Structure 1
């Protein structure tokens, strides 16, 4: 497959891109067609630094041979197995390795597929924890102004980026947003 992707507006109509002005994007699309280490390559051949590690999920870099080989090998043996009522030995092996690396008292691992799913799960765990302790009325959630917590319902509810919430109307109730800790006067760089 060529790195040069030919697109027309008709080619772009089916995909609704999150947090993107879709009409404007489709008038002047910016396409990434490949990646290596910490850079993307665009359809017109430019190299672009991936400063957010692919939205924080490729922090080891893109297309690392050791990682792609491990993915290919595992997919050839077992590409997917649900964790509902069944397991896979490698999942337990990884969970044990993570627990060994974690601080004392962090003895369990719950795997998710994304940061958004992680936030959603953490919110549910917090509420379930208090219900299990007989404190079912403890349901208030706290987020930070300007905080980003993903794209799912709970994540945008506790997230503090107002523009991410405005088109959805009322979200989860019982959410407070505390002031953020961004203090430009204390965080700014100085010449020196």
Structure 2
């Protein structure tokens, strides 16, 4: 007795007749139809044949723009450096903190007659505990800030002259200290003349 892998045509016909309607519908959908061959190798099917459209036939690739990169080679890192003095740093945060040293102090002591100014909240807290321990006042967060040095540091990093940026920051310091009543219009602050409009 021989076993054949392909059923005969008569066996398929009898299976189609005895099967349920759903099964026969599946067999009809599963049957491939033969298409006429193309005239030449370069010819492609038209939209009328099988609903073929070139845009639907090509799967889009997420790698459209190929960049020739050697994955095993380490990427050289350029250490951030100060655009003013050229000092190199391991992190951009260290460089930005260094750039703040070219700007006027950004924090002042809220005590009315105290001329102290600085750059760090920790320095203000230390100053407050040493110089004004018995005042009973609690330090606020934003009341002590004269200006935000980050925007000025970003300007220096972006290429603006540090002298121009320092001048803008000094004008902000002047406006804020006059507003607080801590300094007169023509006074010097931090060894710099505040009257810099001339």
- With the shorter chain as reference, the TM-score category is under 0.3
Indicate the structure (1 or 2) with the bigger Cα radius of gyration.
Answer: 2
TM-score under structure 1 normalisation?
0.21
Q: Which has the higher strand share?
A: 1
Relative contact order (C-alpha < 8 Å, sep 6+): which is higher? 2
Please report the TM-score for the alignment, with normalisation by the length of structure 2: 0.20
